[in-house]
Amino acid sequence: MVSEQVYVALMHYPCYNKTGAVVTTAITNLDLHDIARVSKTFNLGGYFVVNPQPAQRELAGKILSHWTSGYGSEYNPNRGEALSVVKVVPELEDAISAIEAVSGARPKIIATAARQGGGVASFSEMRELIKEGPHLILFGTGWGLTDEFLSVCDYRLEPVAGLAGYNHLPVRSAVAIILDRLLGYR
C-alpha cells in the first residue's frame, strides 16, 4: 500500500520563533497524540519526532512509554496502538536512515509550509509522486521551518490555503488535511 511508504516528521529545529530567530521548539503532548492518531488512521510507515535536545527527547519517551507499555496501555489501548508508530530522534538524518533501513531506498524529502514559496508541487502532483518509493513529509513547529532548510528539500508542497486570508492552522490540523489530500479516499 502506498501509505506505508509515506512517513511524517515533526521538526522542532531549525524553526523560526515569533521574532524570526532560529530556535529549537518544545515537544508538546498533543502533537504526539494527535499526529500519531492521524498517522495510524492513514496507515503511514511511521511518525518521527525530531528534536536535538536530549531532555526533550527524554520527556517524549516517558509520555510514549506510559501509553505503549505503562498504565495508559491498559486504560486506553487505542492510544498505545497509535503511539507505537512514533519514533523520537535527534536529527532528520536519523529518520532518513531508519526509513532507508526498512525500505532499501533513501526517501525523497517533502517540505511543507504555510508560507507561499517558489516551485511548489500541487497536491494532485504529489499524490502521484508518492507512489514511487518512500517519501518523508516534514512539518515545522513554532513559526515554521527556516527558508534555508526548506530550500534543500526535494519538493515543497503547496500550502493549505484558507478561504478568507487567515493562514494560521495548527500543525496538527495541517497534518490531518495534508495526509487526507494525499492519501484519503477520493
* Residue with cell string 510507515: 45
Beta carbons within 8 Å of 124's beta carbon, 6+ residues apart: none
Q: What are phi and psi of 148, to 5 degrees?
A: -60, -45
Q: Which residue's CB is nearer to a copy of itself, number 32 or number 153?
A: 32
Q: Which residue's CB is nearer to a copy of itself, number 20 or number 168?
A: 168
Helices and strands (H and E) in the chain: how many: 8, 8
Q: Applying CB under 8 A, does 184 fall inside the site for a copy of itself?
A: yes
Span of 55-63, 65-73, 93-101, 176-184 interacting with a copy of itself by CB under 8 A = 176-184
Q: Applying CB under 8 A, does 116 fall inside the site for a copy of itself?
A: no
- Do 38 and 179 touch, CB atoms closer than 8 A? yes
Which element (helix H / strand E) includes 9?
strand 6-11
* Residue with cell string 512509554: 65
Q: Closest separation between CB of residue 54 and a copy of itself, Å?
A: 27
Q: Which residue's CB is nearer to a copy of itself, number 59 or number 177?
A: 177
Q: Applying CB under 8 A, does 127 fall inside the site for a copy of itself?
A: no
Q: Scanning residues 134 to 173, which ones bind a copy of itself (CB under 8 A)?
A: 160-164, 166-170, 172-173
- Do 83 and 31 touch, CB atoms closer than 8 A? no
Q: Which residues bind a copy of itself (CB under 8 A)?
A: 1, 3, 18, 30, 33-34, 37-38, 40-43, 76, 78, 81-82, 160-164, 166-170, 172-173, 175-177, 180-181, 183-185
